[in-house]
């Protein structure tokens, strides 16, 4: 099977959805005619060497595929009848292409691409989780001192203010109970009586 390369220039004013639909149509056509699509490369909008249908720019796309001469004829027929394709050119790359080797290489490339994408997604997820953990730790660190101070203030006993204490008031004599006064008077009287000589002692003297 031969290997071909077709460079196709599309109308640059086409919406992305319409452009993708046209490229998918060409890919399906290659598969329907027994061909094998090796690769599609979108080169994007580029300036043309000269204007085509009053368009100074065009959207370049490259198709790398394997197939027969009949497939190339059908592909170019579809390109001619659709005005959204400004220009195209197909060249022969290899007269005897090893399709099985190309399929294996394509499968390997797609597997590597998928693995790289998965690894990138995991790395992005891990970085996001690490950033969230750092933010959470920073918030806890900021709020911890305030909580400690509040807890200490709640647990600390209230200090008594001794500077404002008043000395106990002296008890006035009037406030002494009557019984205490009488007891003191009796005690004084008994002491005086003990000091005076009795009548018997005077006579003996």
Higher pLDDT, 173 or 186: 186
CA distances from 75 to 8, 40, 198 (A): 11, 15, 162
Q: What is the pLDDT of residue 65?
A: 96
Among 6-15, 34-43, 87-96, 177-186, the least confident range:
177-186
CA 109, CA 76: separation in Å to the nearest integer? 29
- Winning range, highest mean pLDDT, from 21-35, 97-111, 163-177: 21-35
Query: How confident is the model over 109-129, as pLDDT tens digits?
Result: 888 888 888 899 999 998 998
H helix or E strand, kind and range, residue 179 = helix 178-195
pLDDT surpassing 80 at residue 166: no
pTM value?
A: 0.57
3-state helix, strand, coil in the chain (%, to 5): 55, 25, 20
Query: How confident is the model over 2-54, as pLDDT tens digits?
Result: 999 999 999 999 999 999 999 999 999 999 999 999 999 999 999 999 999 99
Assign 3-class secondary structure to 83-123: CCEEEEEEEEEECCCCHHHHHHHHHHHHHHHHHHHHHHHHH
Mean pLDDT (whole number) for 102-113: 86
């Amino acid at each position: 099977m031969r290997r071909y390369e077709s460079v196709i220039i599309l109308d640059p004013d086409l919406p992305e959805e319409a452009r993708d639909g046209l490229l998918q149509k060409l890919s399906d056509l290659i598969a329907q005619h027994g061909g094998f699509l090796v690769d599609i490369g979108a080169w994007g909008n580029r300036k043309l060497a000269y204007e085509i249908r009053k368009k100074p720019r065009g959207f370049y796309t490259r198709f790398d595929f394997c197939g027969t001469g009949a497939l190339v004829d059908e592909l170019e027929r579809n390109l001619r009848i659709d005005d959204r394709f400004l220009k195209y050119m197909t060249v022969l790359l290899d007269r005897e292409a090893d399709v099985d080797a190309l399929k294996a290489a394509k499968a390997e490339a797609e597997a590597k691409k998928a693995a790289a994408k998965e690894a990138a997604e995991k790395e992005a997820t891990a970085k996001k989780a690490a950033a969230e953990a750092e933010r959470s730790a920073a918030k806890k660190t900021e709020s911890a001192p305030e909580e400690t101070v509040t807890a200490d203030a709640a647990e600390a006993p209230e200090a008594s203010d001794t500077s404002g204490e008043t000395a106990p008031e002296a008890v006035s004599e009037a406030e002494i109970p009557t019984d205490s006064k009488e007891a003191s008077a009796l005690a004084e009287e008994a002491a005086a009586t003990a000091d005076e000589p009795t009548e018997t002692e005077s006579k003996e003297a």
